Each structure stands twice: as structure tokens, then as C-alpha cells.
């Protein structure tokens, strides 16, 4: 491709900024990034309170986040944030000791430890290729992409067992004789808004939580950034030759020999377009997302595939509690990470130890696809009401002993964040080759698709897919 090709990038989150970074590295400098909000970073969103930033979206990274490390090196930043700790509580507020390492003499925990070891061995042997970037070929029993290594060498191969990854994670681990691993994998998965193991294909769980990433989480070998995860992408944006254009209202995109974009009332013409914004078509009941077909000349093929995408109804809320109520560390309520406890708070996160008046952040899910329920019926069924769920969480925090303080008679809530979260497809569509069909469209109509849906909705997988895309097509 001609290095002077003019490229439009839709979206200034990790995927869009990452695409620009990798394009620059390959000598493509004629690009424009359009971001509809007033900031970059997407769900890496770190507002400020009393001079310090806290997290409403992404919280942490691990040493196996190689794409994020690419961003650090390019932007001149490093993981210099507070060290994270975690504890556990029961829904009634009492300590939950089930994962206390001092109690590993208990038979159940010994069995859990054995199954985790077995699972690691199974993934490396039976499911070789499970952890590469993206989903190309998985439903066909093959793998093709970049290895999860610092060098990210290209790899490919045939492994019919990979077809199993289309199964919901619960069935996948039961089939492999390691059902107890769900007790560990659920903590950074369901609690961070990625759905429940009886509904989400194992492929998504393991793209995010491959074994080395999961072990880093277990051992609290975590990265944070002093000025929040958003600061990584702010720094990246500043280093790019062309910083993202903010507050860009795209109302129309027409594709042909060229790509014509109507933005803020004016037409601009490009040779190629990379879409990292939500690909879902139709009505989206979310305050920050709109259907792709509201501005793009969506083809029949795109409509057919993108109509199958769903997303998680996942909300975070930051509030202030009384100084005497601050917990010793962030804590998980594992018993609230089940479909039966949908709508209850799962994690209560604090960023800075021993500092009162910092925000506590709660995390909650509001929809679940029931086992055996058709996708059509699931999509037609309403999610839990946002305001009612908020009241449920406020009751939870009162029971847990960390209620908001009152200010002018009202709970002191300082921020509420509703994101378009974790777009994905369900088992039937994954198994029928949804990803292979979308990948076959790459480049048609001068259009390329990136962003969360193409790999997974955490910041590393999202950036890594942009790396993959640029390496394959530019």
C-alpha cells in the first residue's frame, strides 16, 4: 500500500490510537483520528478528585500486556502507580477467607490448586494456539496470528480442539474436568463486567485471561499508572504526529472508490477507513453508543453480521464514604458474581491506600443471557433498570459498612459511568464462523474493522488487534 494513503480512524480509544501508532511505525503518516467525545482513552477513563485521579474503567495491567508496553515505550511513560492489594468479603460485610493462602491445607483449596495446574497444562497442549491475537480460524480448528510473547512472532497451525472454545466457559472447563478454576477466573472476568461463564464463549475468557495473565493476577503482579490508565493514551496521543480530533460529530460515511466522511457538517475524503467505534447496528440502549448504521452506509453483509453483536450492561459508580469506613484495600464480593445475584455490587475499588476522601468505586452488571435462552429472546428481554440497580448497590454498600456520606441530605456520589462494554457474539454465532466471515470483509469498500469486538474488550487485546491489523494489511 502507498505510504501516502490517506486513512481515517474512527475512535480515539486504545484501538484507534494504537492503530495510529502502529501505522506511524510502518511509515503511514497521512491519517486522521476522529473522536466524538472531549477526551481520548475510551473506557480507560480516569477522572480527578482532590488532585488525584481514580479509575472508572480499566484499572490495571500485567507484565504480559505486551501491546500496552509498546504504548508505554512509544509515549515515554511507565507503570508508576500505586501497588494494588485485594481482600474478600461476604455479602453481609464479614471477611471471606476462602482464598486465604494460609488455609491451603483445606481439601477444597488443595483440589482447586491441582485443577488450576491441570488447566494450565491442558491449555498449552490440547488447546495450543488458544492465546494468539484475535479469533481467526478458531471456529474451523486452526490458529493464525501473533504469539503472546514480547516479540509477538507470527504463528499459525491446525488444532481441531480449538473448536471447543466456542462453548460457554462453564461447559468448557467442565468438559475438561477442571470446573473449580471458575472460582479464580471469575474474579477478573465477571466482576470486571465481561458477563457470566454460562453465557460467554470460552474463547473470549481465554483471550483476556490466558494462563500467564491469570497467574499474574493471582500473584498480584500488577501494573498501575499514577495518573490513571487514561494517562497512557493521553501521552500516546501527544506523541502521535497527528493528535486525535475531539468533539467530532460524524453524521455520514459513504464508501466507494474513496471514503467520504461528513463530520461537523463538512465533507472530508479519504482512501481508507479503520473503524474502531462500535460495529453493532440498530438501536443501542446506551448513552454513549450509537448504531453503526446511523452514520455508515452499511452493506447487507455488514448488517447481517453486525446485528448479531451484543454488549454488557455494566456500570461503575464513584462515591465518598466516611474516613472511618474506608476498607484496608479494594475487595471482592465473590458471592455476588453469579447470575442469581445480578444487579449487586461485585467489586469495591479504592486506588490510594490510607487516604480518606478518595472515591470508592462499585461495579455492577445488569443483564444475563439465561442458559438455553435464544439470542432473539435474550435481546428482546429488558435489562435491569439502571436506577433500581443503583439503589440495590447503595443498599449493598450500607450492608458492607461503606455507605456514602451525606451532602445536603443526598448521598455523595461524584461520578457515574455507563460504557458500551464488551461487545461479543454468543456461542452459536461464534461456532458458525462469525469471525472468519468478518475477517473476510477486511479491506472491502476500503474499510477495516478493529476495536474490542475483533479480539476482546480489555485494553491490551484491543491495542494488540490494531497491531495485528496494521501488520496484515498495511
Q: Kind and range of the H or E element at 345? A: none
Question: What are the sequence ranges of the domains in the chain?
Answer: 7-75+225-309+424-473, 105-218, 311-423
Q: Could you tell me how far CA 155 lies from the centroid of its own chain? A: 24
Q: What CATH number does the domain located at 7-75+225-309+424-473 have?
A: 3.50.50.60
pLDDT number for residue 304: 97
pLDDT number for residue 94: 94
Mean pLDDT, the chain, integer: 95
Using alpha carbons, select from 471, 458, 474 the residue that is nearest to residue 13: 458
Q: What is this structure's pTM?
A: 0.96
State the maximum Cα–Cα separation within the chain, in Å, rounded to a whole number. 68
- Alpha-carbon separation of residue 37 from 13, 43, 190, 289, 369 (angstroms): 10, 12, 27, 11, 31
Q: Could you tell me how far CA 204 lies from the centroid of its own chain? A: 10
The C-alpha atoms of residue 54 and residue 408 are separated, in whole angstroms, by: 24
Residues 433, 436, 442, 445, Cα dihedral to 10°: -40
The C-alpha atoms of residue 5 and residue 28 are separated, in whole angstroms, by: 7
Alpha-helical runs (H) found in 105-192: 107-125, 169-175, 182-189
pLDDT tops 60 at residue 104: no
pLDDT in tens, 21-60: 999 999 999 999 999 999 999 999 999 999 899 999 999 9
Mean pLDDT of 297-325: 96
Q: Could you tell me how far CA 222 lies from the centroid of its own chain? A: 17
In contact, 253 and 295? CB cutoff 8 Å: yes
Mean pLDDT of 381-408: 96
CATH 1.10.405.20 fits 105-218, yes or no: yes
pLDDT in tens, 277-300: 999 999 898 888 999 999 999 999
pLDDT tops 60 at residue 6: yes
Mean pLDDT of 162-181: 98
Mean pLDDT of 452-468: 96
The C-alpha atoms of residue 215 and residue 217 are separated, in whole angstroms, by: 5
Architecture of domain 311-423: 2-Layer Sandwich (3.30)
Amino acid at each position: 500500500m502507498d505510504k501516502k494513503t490517506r486513512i481515517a480512524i474512527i475512535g480515539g480509544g486504545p484501538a484507534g490510537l494504537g492503530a495510529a501508532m502502529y501505522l506511524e511505525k510502518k511509515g503511514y503518516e497521512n491519517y486522521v483520528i476522529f473522536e466524538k467525545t472531549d477526551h481520548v482513552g475510551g473506557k480507560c477513563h480516569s477522572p480527578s478528585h482532590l488532585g488525584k485521579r481514580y479509575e472508572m474503567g480499566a484499572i490495571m495491567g500485567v507484565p504480559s500486556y505486551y501491546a500496552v508496553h509498546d504504548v508505554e515505550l512509544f509515549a515515554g511513560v511507565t507503570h508508576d502507580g500505586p501497588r494494588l492489594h485485594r481482600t474478600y468479603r461476604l455479602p453481609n460485610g464479614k471477611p471471606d477467607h476462602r482464598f486465604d493462602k494460609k488455609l491451603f491445607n483445606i481439601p477444597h483449596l488443595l483440589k482447586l490448586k491441582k485443577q488450576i495446574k491441570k488447566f494450565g497444562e491442558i491449555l498449552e497442549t490440547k488447546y495450543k494456539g488458544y492465546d494468539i491475537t484475535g479469533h481467526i480460524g478458531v471456529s474451523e480448528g486452526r490458529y493464525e496470528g501473533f504469539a503472546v510473547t514480547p516479540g509477538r512472532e507470527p504463528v499459525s497451525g491446525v488444532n481441531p480442539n480449538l473448536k471447543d472454545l466456542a462453548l460457554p466457559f462453564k461447559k468448557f472447563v467442565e468438559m475438561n474436568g477442571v470446573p473449580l478454576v471458575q472460582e479464580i477466573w471469575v474474579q477478573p472476568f465477571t466482576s470486571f463486567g465481561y458477563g457470566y461463564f454460562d453465557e460467554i464463549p470460552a474463547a473470549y475468557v481465554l483471550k483476556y485471561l490466558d494462563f500467564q495473565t491469570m497467574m499474574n493476577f493471582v500473584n498480584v503482579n500488577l501494573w498501575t499508572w499514577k495518573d490513571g490508565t487514561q494517562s497512557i493514551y493521553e501521552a500516546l496521543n501527544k506523541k502521535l504526529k497527528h493528535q486525535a480530533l475531539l468533539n467530532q460529530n460524524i453524521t455520514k460515511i459513504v464508501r466507494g472508490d474513496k471514503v467520504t466522511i461528513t463530520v461537523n457538517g463538512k465533507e472530508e475524503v479519504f482512501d481508507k477507513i479503520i473503524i474502531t467505534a462500535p460495529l453493532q447496528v440498530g438501536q443501542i440502549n446506551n448513552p454513549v453508543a450509537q448504531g453503526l448504521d446511523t452514520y455508515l452506509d452499511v452493506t447487507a453483509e455488514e448488517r447481517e453480521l453486525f446485528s448479531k453483536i451484543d454488549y454488557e450492561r455494566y456500570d461503575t459508580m464513584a462515591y465518598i464514604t466516611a474516613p472511618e469506613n474506608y476498607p484496608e484495600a479494594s475487595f471482592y464480593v465473590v458471592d455476588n458474581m453469579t447470575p442469581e445475584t445480578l444487579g449487586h455490587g461485585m467489586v469495591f475499588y479504592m486506588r490510594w491506600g490510607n487516604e480518606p476522601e478518595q472515591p470508592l468505586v462499585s461495579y455492577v452488571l445488569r443483564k444475563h443471557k439465561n442458559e438455553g435462552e435464544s439470542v432473539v429472546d435474550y435481546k428482546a428481554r429488558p435489562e435491569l433498570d439502571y436506577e433500581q440497580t443503583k439503589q440495590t448497590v447503595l443498599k449493598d454498600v450500607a450492608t458492607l459498612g461503606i455507605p456514602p456520606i451525606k451532602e445536603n441530605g443526598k448521598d455523595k456520589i461524584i461520578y457515574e459511568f455507563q460504557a458500551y462494554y464488551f461487545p461479543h457474539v454468543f456461542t452459536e454465532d461464534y461456532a458458525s464462523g462469525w469471525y472468519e466471515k468478518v475477517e473476510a470483509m477486511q479491506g472491502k469498500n476500503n474499510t477495516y474493522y478493529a476495536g474490542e469486538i475483533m479480539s476482546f474488550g480489555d485494553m491490551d487485546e484491543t491495542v494488540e488487534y490494531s497491531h495485528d491489523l496494521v501488520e496484515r494489511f498495511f
